[in-house]
Amino acid sequence: MDFVPYAVPFFIALIVVELLADRWRGQRNYRVADAINSLSTGVLSTTTGLFTKGVGLLTYAFALKHLAVIELPAHSVWTWAFAFVFYDFCYYWLHRMGHERNILWAAHSVHHQSEDYNLSTALRQTSTGFLLSWIFYLPLAVLGVPLVVFISVASLNLLYQFWVHTRHVPKLGWFEWLFVTPSNHRAHHAQNALYMDRNYGGVFILWDRLFGTFQEEDDNEPVIFGVTTPLASWNPLWANLQFYAQLWRDARRAERWRDKLRIWFMPTGWRPADVQARYPLAKPDLSQFRKFEVPLDPRQQAYIALQFAVYVGFGSYLMNAGEGLPIPALALGWSTMALGLFTLGVALENRPWALKAEWARLALNVPLVGLAPLVGLWPASQLGWPALLSYSVLSMFGLYCCRGRLTRLAT
């Protein structure tokens, strides 16, 4: 059983609580654009998962049927306990390889791109992790962990990881020795050399202590969050493609075919010598670190936040109805979601063409409402067109309030 969809309301509630804690303590751990960008990648990952989650489930089911050496009973408490612990062991190696190999870092880097650290960062997830992550969980199938147990412990592991993405919880004494905590996970999200590539556990920090990858958060070395090659964008699509694009450019520029192929599987950061010489990558000086920021008018921020809330609602609908929707409906829903989040990312970056992109997004809602019942995205209803009209009028009013502000390129 997948518990994650049931936890979404609690995620939102805890984010609100953290925002109130920020205000009470006079801290600023949230920025509107960064939070929307993190949540956008999460929404995009969830809707992409409607197409891709079958990759992991089908391969797991196949391995369970044909490769399992034993068959563990799903009703046994010991099966659940073993699966919970062993899943985290497999996750440790997936997570570690996600930092140590280019092709896996291309997917996992999305989660680390935020230069803030708060509960919205926990929801910042990749849309391409399904390509290879399933490989690391096959040992559970070989050892006979039933599919329903696998799905359940996977969701419990993910749920545990939500709460450790906060700056409001200090070190927790003895708990730090056994479990992943906000303190040792803050170190994991750092780009400081001291903390780089440490603390990979999902629930248990014991794996890091056992395999030599543990690093305690040091009060004398404040954590600087983010990645050493900054995303410098608020666009969730580009967030998922950035490192793939860098690898592709380097592969294309490499003179030797061997380098064109092996760059994908080499340690993170490895580049062919000829490419490194001709196209060096400058790493930012952390002593002069500045977060990526694009000045936005408060009214513009409010407009984008409200439009994003519409896509959160749409994403919730897709999550709840997804398993019963036909492929054309899912394709239309995902395309609408991706285009909308891309356009809001353009607005957050204050691109010169942001206003035109926003008008195009609103105009495309007309064919969406017409096509949706035809492909089965939602049933035909006489309320569709009045709802679209109301939404469009409110959006145009919002654009009027922001007039002249969606056309400036931030400096």
Provide mean pLDDT across the span 96-119. Answer: 98
Provide mean pLDDT across the span 41-57. Answer: 93
Share of the chain above pLDDT 90, in %: 86
Half-sphere exposure (CA, 13 Å, Cβ side) for 92?
Answer: 23
Residue 159: how many CB atoms within 10 A of its CB?
17
Separation CA 335–CA 330 (nearest Å): 8
> Residue 225: beta bridge partners?
190
Provide mean pLDDT across the span 125-136. Answer: 96
Res 407 pLDDT > 70: no
Separation CA 55–CA 173 (nearest Å): 40
Q: Helices 4-25 and 147-162 meet at what angle, rounded to 10?
A: 10
How confident is the model at residue 288, as a pLDDT? 86
Cα 30 to Cα 7, 36, 38, 179, 336: the distances in Å are: 21, 10, 11, 26, 27
How confident is the model at residue 410, as a pLDDT? 39
Residue 276: how many CB atoms within 10 A of its CB?
12
Res 307 pLDDT > 80: yes
How confident is the model at residue 140, as a pLDDT? 98
3-class DSSP state for residue 267? Answer: strand
Q: Is residue 154 within 8 Å of residue 136, measured between CB atoms?
A: no
How confident is the model at residue 409, as a pLDDT? 39
Q: Which two tokens stand for residue 383?
A: 């309320």
Provide mean pLDDT across the span 295-315. Answer: 94
How confident is the model at residue 406, as a pLDDT? 54
Instruction: Measure the N-to-C terminal CA separation of the chain; round to a whole number of Å.
Output: 48
Mean pLDDT of all residues belonging to the chain? 93
Separation CA 234–CA 34 (nearest Å): 7
Q: Is residue 104 within 8 Å of residue 25, measured between CB atoms?
A: no
Provide mean pLDDT across the span 348-357. Answer: 93
How confident is the model at residue 404, as a pLDDT? 56
Q: Is residue 195 within 8 Å of residue 215, measured between CB atoms?
A: yes
In single-letter form, the type of residue at position 257 comes to W
Separation CA 122–CA 112 (nearest Å): 10
Phi, psi (degrees; rounded to nearest 5) at 76: -85, 135
The per-residue pLDDT for range 216-257, each reduced to its tens digit, is: 999 999 999 999 999 999 999 999 999 999 999 999 999 999
The per-residue pLDDT for range 365-386, each reduced to its tens digit, is: 999 999 999 999 999 888 888 9
DSSP string, 183-208: HHHHHHTB-STTTTT----SSBTHHH
